[in-house]
A and B are shown apart, each in its own frame.
Chain A
Amino acid sequence: MIRFLKLYEKFGIFIFIFAGAVFLAFASPNFLKLDTILNIIAQGSYAAVVGYGMTMAVTSGGFDLSVESVMALTSVFLSILIPVIGIPLAIIVSLMVATSAGVVNGLIISKLKVNPLITTLGMSTIVKGIALLVAGGKMIVILQKQFMSIGTGKLLGIPNPIYVMVIFFAIFYLVVYRSSFGRHVAAVGSNESAVKISGVNVDAVKIGVYALVALTAGLASVVRTSQALIGMPSMAAGFVLVVLTVTILGGTSLTGGRANLWGTLLAALFVSMIYYGLNLLNLQIFYQMLAVGTVLMLALFIEGLRLRYLKAAKAKGIKV
């Protein structure tokens, strides 16, 4: 059992993906076509990109429930700013707005010592409120058609969102595993008081983490807004659950300290496969919610099982 769970921690998500692929291959003659697969991957890129940020937050011992609101805010800012200051500047400013929402999260969590759940839940409502206020409560159409090429264009036959997903995977891989910041994040999630007496500025680490999560939410929003060419103050409702599912299913420990960025990426693709399968079966959108909720519960159940067995194994003196 121990060995199985250890394998699961590393490769569990592959099993899900493989099973899903086999099912879809039989269910749909179109599944094994390049276009379909690229489409599935591109659809999974949002959850993957925001998942990178969420992975850092969970690794630091917290999480961020405000990502979907930050996406909505970014979308609204883009639609308002593009006609005024042009596309490149609008993207930069919108991302800065997104990041500053994360900084506020980080400040509240670290300086005021409010629990991340309450903080980001509260911020989520506030940010969503600001988005609706700024947008006047309605969607804003973007007339600059060239903005659309960001989310819908292709390079060498591969959709742009996939590039975004891959490039930011590389960047986050460096940050998580190869930078001192990433090491500090894991250390804070592993044992905050130990890190403090090692002289690490724990507050700065936390602020950085929540700024990064918000940045990933902003990035995902840029791509999505570009595809729709509409600024949506109600964008991505319920998306935070997808992102959390992807992070936990990917094997990042909820107890903090251990990130699994590969797992997050693959889990995002798996969830995208589920969506594709549900579409294929002509099931309504409500079933997607059902599916995501079920997968999240399953992932949490397995995580709980894993922790319990590791504890039992430790008690028996088995080296894991």
Chain B
Amino acid sequence: MSATGELLRTEGLTKVFPGVVAVDGVDFDVRVGEIHALVGENGAGKSTLIKILGGVYLPDRGKILLDGKEVAFSSTHQSQESKIAVIYQEFNLVPDLSVAENIFIGREPKTAFGTLIDFRRLNARAAEILTTLDMPLNVKSFVADISVAERQMVEIAKALSHESRLIIMDEPTATLTEKEVRKIFEIVKNLRARGVSIIYISHRLEEAFELADRITVMRDGRKVGTKLVAETNKNDVIEMMVGKVVKDYFAQAGAVADSRQPLLEVRNYSVADAVEDISFTLYKGEILALAGILGSGVHRMLQSLFGVIPKKSGEIFFEGRKVNIDRPRDAIRLGIGYVTEDRKNAGLLPAMSVLHNLTIIIIRALTFLRGLFIRDREETRRFEGIRTTLDIKMAGPGQRIIYLSGGNQQKVLIGRTLLTDCKALILLEPTRGIDVGAKAEIHRMLRALADKGLSVILTSSELPELVNLPDRCIVLYKGRKAAEFTRETMDSEKLVAAQIGHSDGQNGARP
């Protein structure tokens, strides 16, 4: 095997989902024994591409060549047989089995009569693999008891035990500490030295530059280009990632954003394993974005602000008063609304109607006699009010929520919080999984609400949303404030650079 030989090549690979071309004619190749970084914004098509290589999706067009021979993976098993291993962000490990059992799951060495697992040989062989990779792991530990970084190692060891020639790693370091990242890097480099090829997906550009031999940038399902790391630089790559995000000054100008009356102040706020010493102020009638990639802590920051997860330290002031928010009820009582990013699991009441989904938050207040007898007419009136304001499209109030489109479901969830007459609204990924038209509609709606004095604080992983919607945008990186942009200083490339930890001394970005 020569170091420059080609291992895998895709030609014109295309995968279409209803309403979106996720991967669009991608020509991509991996050489033997190289680390190939795959980067791009959310929705660029990286995940779909690796899922095709992993046998999860069948491509609609195009082909995959392995060692120059065309292959087709109609199952994950076939991809594995071809010595390709994919390590997804959600690990494929059994928590109640040991490290060794996980590595050899389904292929455990058996005792003489082939009936029982030969634990001695199992543990010895697992230990052997761990030693070659210099992994400090006890083969007998249960996976449930080991850290995320260690689970990552188990996945790698498992891949190696399959004699995989290509290991695809999807954001392996997103939730790891600096020290753990170092260890994973060592292991990945060790793998390369052994002739294994790696496709390394990361949001953190610095990692890609440190590790990879080549780097491929994807955007909107297409491959923008592949560069030798030695022959490119971060700014070029960012430009390739971002492309053109048009700043749209006309549609979204805030009316009262400059009143500068603080509503909510967060001081020296920390959440365990997520954010450290964050301070910011949310003004009345302002749309503030907290931006950050996976592992930056933005989601946890906002969840903690609403009392979904506990804080470690820090203070919150609301309307000038110091307040405690230990659970969602406390936040709601203050006048803070919250729309989850996990619409399906933490937002919707799937068995219930649109009407009941909307009014659940205030149903107690809509009754006579402390909870008994819901006042139907009042309930319908409040419902109709929200329905008209947010223009929710549905068959009728009795329709089950799950049959609404994603955009309309999201409006119901936003409407739910608006029913409480909240003063501040926390939105996590407000337009995730929603079609383009509905996105614009929700943006207009949020701006209109802000113009009426509502303060909005949101986080999003979609660049156009971050560039055009908020009045201000604070970027977090690894739990700390990395940059802040106003509408005037906003620049999509600098924003991306700050999010991926490449904001050293950029103008416009105040660290």
Contacts and interface: CB of A to CB of B under 8 A. Distances in A.
Interface of A: 174-175, 178-181, 183-184, 186-187, 189-191, 193-201, 253, 255-258, 314, 319-320
B374 interface: yes
B361 A199 contact: yes
A200 B363 CA distance: 10
B340 interface: yes
Interface in B320-334: 328-329, 331-333
Contacts of B361: 198-199
B306 interface: yes
A320 B351 CA distance: 13
Contacts of A320: 403
Contact of B360 (A174, A183, A314): A183
A258 B351 CA distance: 6
B363 A184 contact: yes
Contacts of A195: 349, 360
A190 B403 contact: no
Contacts of B416: 198
A190 B351 contact: yes
Given A174-B372, A187-B356, A180 B367 contact: yes
Interface of B: 306, 308, 328-329, 331-333, 338, 340, 345-352, 356, 359-361, 363-364, 366-367, 371-374, 402-403, 416
Contacts of B364: 180
A255 B350 CA distance: 11
A7 to B, nearest CB: 17
Query: Chain B's interface: helix, strand, loop or mixed, by majority?
Result: helix
Given A178-B373, A179-B374, A201 B329 contact: yes
B328 A187 contact: no
B371 A180 contact: yes
Given A199-B329, A199-B332, A200-B360, A194 B372 contact: no
A183 B358 CA distance: 12
B360 A178 contact: no
Contact of B347 (A180, A194, A253, A319): A194
Contact of B348 (A194, A253, A256): A194
A197 B374 contact: no
Contact of A319 (B340, B345, B367, B403): B403
Given A178-B372, A191-B347, A197-B328, 19 more contacts: A175-B372, A180-B363, A183-B359, A186-B349, A187-B356, A190-B350, A191-B346, A191-B348, A193-B345, A197-B308, A198-B328, A198-B360, A198-B416, A199-B328, A199-B331, A255-B351, A258-B352, A314-B402, A320-B403
7 contacts: A180-B363, A181-B371, A186-B352, A194-B345, A199-B333, A258-B352, A320-B403
Contact of A197 (B346, B359, B363, B403): B346
A243 B366 CA distance: 33
Contacts of A181: 371-372
Contacts of A201: 329
B351 A257 contact: yes
Nearest to B364: A180
Contacts of B350: 190-191, 257
Contacts of A193: 345-346
A200 B348 CA distance: 14
Contacts of B340: 194, 197
Most buried by B among A175, A193, A194: A194
B309 to A, nearest CB: 11
A95 B179 CA distance: 62
A191 B331 CA distance: 20
A178 B356 CA distance: 12
A193 B366 CA distance: 22
Contact of A179 (B332, B351, B372, B403): B372
Contacts of A174: 372-373
Given A190-B350, A257-B352, A196 B328 contact: yes
Nearest to A257: B351
Nearest to B351: A257
Given A178-B374, A179-B371, A320-B403, A190 B352 contact: yes
Nearest to B375: A178
A180 B360 CA distance: 8
Nearest to A200: B360
A257 B349 contact: yes
Contacts of A179: 367, 371-374
A255 B361 CA distance: 22
Contacts of B346: 191, 193-194, 197
A319 B360 CA distance: 24
B378 to A, nearest CB: 12
Contact of B363 (A175, A183, A196): A183
A184 to B, nearest CB: 7
A320 B374 CA distance: 27
B232 to A, nearest CB: 44
A195 B332 CA distance: 13
Most buried by A among B352, B356, B402: B352
Contacts of B373: 174, 178-179
Nearest to B374: A178
A197 B306 contact: yes
Most buried by B among A174, A187, A319, A320: A187
A225 B308 CA distance: 48
Identify the 7 closest CB pairs spanning chains A and B, nearest first: A257-B351, A190-B349, A199-B332, A190-B351, A180-B363, A199-B329, A180-B364
A174 B369 CA distance: 13
A189 B360 CA distance: 13
Contacts of A183: 356, 359-360, 363, 374
B30 to A, nearest CB: 35
B352 to A, nearest CB: 5
B301 to A, nearest CB: 16
